[in-house]
Amino acid sequence: MKNVTIILLNWNGGQDTIQCLESLLRSTYPHFRIVVCDNNSTDGSMEKIKAWACGHAVSPETQTQGLHPQLHPLVLPPVGKPVPFIELNRDAAEKGSAESKLVLIQNGSNAGFAAGNNVGIRYALNRDNDFIWLLNNDTVVEKNTLEKLTAFMNAHPEIGLAGNAVYTTEHPEKLQTLGGGKITPLFGTDRFVRSGEAVGFIAGTSLFMRKETPEFIGLLDEGFFFYWEDADFSRRAKNAGLTLGVCADAVIYHKFSASVGAQSLKSDLFKIASMKRYFKKHSKFWFVPLCVNFGGMVIKRILRGQFERLFPIWREILK
């Protein structure tokens, strides 16, 4: 059977990561390792994860925080402890020498989503490995999700990147996306796909790939700090002749916008910077979608009375 490396990026989200680990360790597909890359958290995340792995009890209330009661069986009762793990710094990890079911990597800085995940990808590329799964740490998974994703990729050798069904942890019946989304080039907007239509990009929430994909097209573009790195990676894969696919019956549940907060100023600024990079890379007339999208963003903030955001937004746009 083929080996999978699952990469979780953590930044000040230790309890979310522990929930995700509890669900992953119940997977019916046994041939996997989990790599947690920490972007220099300041909340003691790594200490919490190590204490959990060593058998330090987590209360049921904490263990299920943010999860609908329907999802509690995905993380309870706790899996057997201890969970063997090793700790590596970034340099040691990227040489890929040490091995364990659970690998904890301290990246040493918060360089963003792409750079943080790339540390784990480099580790995976140096191991006996067939597939790489980039999975948000603020998710929980069904027991058969990994099994279904692996079977899907085995059955479709032409697919280089695959997504799956993503529901929300607060409302498990609410579909967030069916694998990814689409981009409207003229307006510079992106939207999630929630039906069987073809996706234009695989959502970074859950991005399953063959090991050969990053070897062929390169790693995530570290110029994206947060947002749009998944769209860029998918675009590069398609430009290289790879196919995107969606395994609709593989399911995960996601705490939407747990990292930066939905509709926050920080979210606005990350989106502006990332959109500028994406369209300048991939659109000949990049200024058209940027003008349309950024104009719409400013109008929305005015209509919502969020006047304090206008100066930071304009400053980011004009950089």
Contacting residues for 254 by C-beta, under 8 A, at least 6 apart: 136, 138, 139, 166, 167, 168, 169, 176, 205
Q: Are 52 and 63 in contact (CB under 8 A)?
A: no
Q: What's the Rg (C-alpha) of the chain? A: 19
* Burial class (CB within 10 angstroms; exposed 0-12, middle 13-18, buried 19+) of 68: middle
Q: Where are the alpha helices (DSSP H) in 25-89?
A: 45-54, 60-63
Backbone φ/ψ region at 228: left (φ over 0), alpha (ψ -120 to 50), beta: left
Q: Are 167 and 269 in contact (CB under 8 A)?
A: no
**Tens of pLDDT, residues 81-128:** 999 999 999 999 988 667 899 999 999 999 899 999 999 999 999 998
pLDDT at 249: 97
CB atoms within 10 A of CB 98: 13
pLDDT at 290: 86
Does the structure show a pLDDT above 90 at 314? no
Does the structure show a pLDDT above 90 at 295? no
**Residue 276 to residues 79, 188, 270, 317: CA-CA distances in angstroms?**
44, 10, 10, 8
**Tens of pLDDT, residues 17-67:** 999 999 999 999 999 999 999 999 999 999 999 999 999 988 989 999 999
Q: What is the largest CA-CA distance in the chain?
A: 56
